[in-house]
Structure 1
Amino acid sequence: MKKVICAKDVETLIEQGKSTLYIDANTILTPSAKDAAKLAEIEIVEGAPPQAPCAAPAAPSCDGAISSDLIYAALKALYERGMLDEFLKDIVSKGYVSQAVGGGKIVRGNSVKMEPFETGTPGATACSQEVIGKNDGQIHSGFFEIDQSRFEQDFACEANFHLLEGALNITINGQTVSAEAGDVFCVPAGAKVIWEATNYARLFYSRFPQSKG
């Protein structure tokens, strides 16, 4: 019979001051347990522990919910390890709210805080926020806004754009095209691009950085 590990079991580990959860082929780890372990930085290790403690009894049931007590215990564990300041700084520096989902994540669009984008052109106004980055996978994505401005940009890597709001003229390697909300376009690696928006334009992009090595 397989042993089920849920969020409550992770909470018990945190209260015991443990930082490692050992599992084997007969262990079922629920999604809420994985999220709780990640939040408290509990390492999940496949195999037997160095010492042979008695196996923890399996919980009779698990509804998958993360309790407020568990969140408190996780934050307390981070505080006691001197990592709470770094944890909070990371949340603030992200500029958006996200949630881990099945090995990926969801970003709440209404939480995204845009940051100034350096255009290199005096008087040109633009901002951006990358919400999917190098820690998430090979494709980096985010939001890009231009406000009544014209400026040039050199592209080191390939990128795709979806114009969400507004309209703009985009010049790629000397060829200009007008785009409006709903249009999708791609920019090749090494391209020289000129952005021109007479009003406001908001885009979502995905770029593909070249791997090194």
Structure 2
Amino acid sequence: MKKVLCASEIESAYTNNENNIEIDSETIITPLAQDLIDEYELNVEVKPVQSKNLNPNSISKELILSILKKILNDNFLTKLDSNGLKVIDGDSLVFQDIPNCLNNGTGKYCNFHLGDRDQTKFGLVKLANTEFTNIAKANAYLYISSGCFDISIGQDSCVAKQGDIIFIPKEVHVTIKVLKEVKFVYSINE
């Protein structure tokens, strides 16, 4: 954004006995300001515009991580090697709130795309003191890593606990009621 040097600034400089005024090469001098500069015989020094380079000491790991997340538009960073090994950096995980959690409970999730972005999704979920209902849009597998919940699929229900693996078929009505704060891994094949 360009700066403007106006008459009031010239009056102020003259009143404070400042004979030299520094501006950058993009500053616009108003006609009245130019007249006052000439009248008061002030010196105007034009300096080149300073580039806005970041100080390397001000660049933190967190700043780089946040920039990369915005560029990649994902909620995680993946380390790759030439053999195709992928490692998701756990420090880079960003969980998003699950909307419509009941009973003042909380729910968060984080999605990952492995392989073809349109076919396989993988993610993590954390739920506490909540219940929610959804219709499965695709076949899904859940692995309960901690805690437990009551899950109803259609008319059937059961308690899923740590270590259990659950298959949810596409287009069924699913209700989950958290019994003990739960964390699970899911895989969805669309």
Q: TM-score, normalising length from structure 2?
A: 0.57
Amino acid of the structure 2 residue aligned with 1:198: L
Q: Which residue is 2:122 aligned to?
A: 141
Which residue in 2 is equivalent to 1:24?
Answer: none
Q: Are 2:156 and 1:179 equivalent residues in the alignment?
A: no
Counterpart pick for 1:203 among 167, 171, 184: 184
1:163 counterpart residue number: 144
SS in 2 for 1:90: helix
Asked if 2 retains the 8 angstrom alpha-carbon contact of 1:124 and 1:151, the reply is no
**Which of 102, 126, 132 is the aligned partner of 2:107?**
126
* Aligned-residue identity in percent: 16
Displacement, 1:123?
Answer: 2.9
Name the structure with the higher strand share: 2
Cα pair 1:119 1:125 within 8 Å, conserved: no
Q: How many residues in Structure 1 have an aligned counterpart in Structure 2?
A: 124
What is aligned with 1:70? Answer: none
Structure 2 residue 79 is matched with structure 1 residue 99: yes
Q: CA deviation at 1:100?
A: 2.0
C-alpha contact 1:168 1:178 (8 A) present in aligned 2: yes
CA contact (8 A) 2:102 2:130 kept: no
TM-score (norm 1): 0.51
Counterpart in the other structure of 2:172: 191
1:135-157, Cα deviation, whole Å (9 max, x unpaired): 55732101011111011011111
The Cα of 1:88 is off from its aligned counterpart by 5.7
In the alignment, structure 2 segments of 5+ residues that lack a partner are: 1-65
After superposition, the CA RMSD in angstroms is 2.5
Q: Structure 1 unaligned segments of length 5 or more: list them.
A: 1-84
Contact 2:148 2:180 (C-alpha < 8 Å) held by counterparts:
yes
Q: Is the 8 A contact 1:129 1:144 kept in 2?
A: yes
- For 1:127, the aligned partner's letter is K
Tell me how far 1:114 sits from its aligned partner: 1.1
Contact 1:161 1:185 in 2 (8 A): yes
Distance 2:102 2:154 in 1: 18
Do structure 1's residue 113 and structure 2's residue 81 form an aligned pair? no
Q: Deviations over 1:47-89 (max 9, x none)?
A: xxxxxxxxxxxxxxxxxxxxxxxxxxxxxxxxxxxxxx98562
Runs ≥4 residues deviating over 4 A: 85-88, 133-137
Contact preservation (8 Å) 1:116, 1:126: yes
Larger radius of gyration: 2
